[in-house]
Amino acid sequence: MLPLKEKDKPIVQKLLSAGCCARCILRFCCVRVQAAYRQP
């Protein structure tokens, strides 16, 4: 599981309800997680 801080959870909920995809949300909240953007 990717690290998601408690302070980011309300932001994630708003982005999901606005129609953002999970990849965009990870990019917004977990910028330092490089592995999330690598293709298998």
- Average pLDDT (31-39) is 59
The DSSP line for the chain is -----GGGHHHHHHHHHTT--HHHHHHHH-TT-GGGG---
Q: Which domain does 14 fall in, by range? A: 6-35
Average pLDDT, the chain: 75
Is position 24 within any domain?
yes
**Pick from 3-7, 21-25, 31-35: least confident:** 31-35
- Average pLDDT (20-26) is 82
Is position 1 within any domain?
no
Is position 28 within any domain?
yes
4 and 35 Cβ atoms separated by less than 8 Å: no
Say if residue 9's pLDDT is above 80. yes
